[in-house]
Every structure is written in structure tokens, then in C-alpha cells.
Amino acid sequence: MSIKQVNNLLNKRSKNILINKIDVAYREIENLEYQYTVMKSILNCFNDDTLKKILKVTKQAKKLEILEEKNNVAMGQQK
């Protein structure tokens, strides 16, 4: 592995750590207006096409979550 590859890997790890810290801090905000302000400032960094992709994935994640809940209920009823 080259020095460049090692640096790239370390940068990705550092970025993931930072993302996780932001995620934890965001989830700890109880005031919905403050949550909105933080989310808006984050999402303003993306262009419209990327925002549309993020929205699509978010909706897919919600559908998956609902499907998993239904499956868990169905599995619980079979026991």
C-alpha cells in the first residue's frame, strides 16, 4: 500500500468519525426548529440533483422500515 493510499484511507476514517459525531449531536437536539436549522445548513451544501437523490433514498429507507415492522409483527404472530 502506498503512502497516498494510506493517507486516503485515514482521511476516509477521519471523515466517517466526524460524520458520526455530527449524527450523534444532531440526534441529541430535541428542539425541532434547531434540528431543522442544522439539517437545512447541511443540505444547503448539496445541489438540487443530489438533494433529489437523498430524498429518494430517504423515502426508500422509510418503506423498508415499514416492511420490516410488518414482517416482525407477522413473525411474532406465528410463534
Q: Are residues 4 and 40 in the same domain?
A: yes
Q: Are residues 32 and 70 in the same domain?
A: no
Q: How many CB atoms lie within 10 A of CB 35?
A: 14
How far apart CA 44 and CA 37 sit, in angstroms, is: 11
Stated pTM of the model: 0.68
Residues 6+ apart with CB under 8 A from 46: 54
Is the pLDDT score of 1 beyond 70? yes
pLDDT of residue 78: 56
33-79 pLDDT tens trace? 999 999 999 999 999 999 999 999 999 999 999 999 999 888 876 54
Number of domains forming the structure of the chain = 2
Query: Which domain covers residue 61, as residue numbers?
Result: 47-79
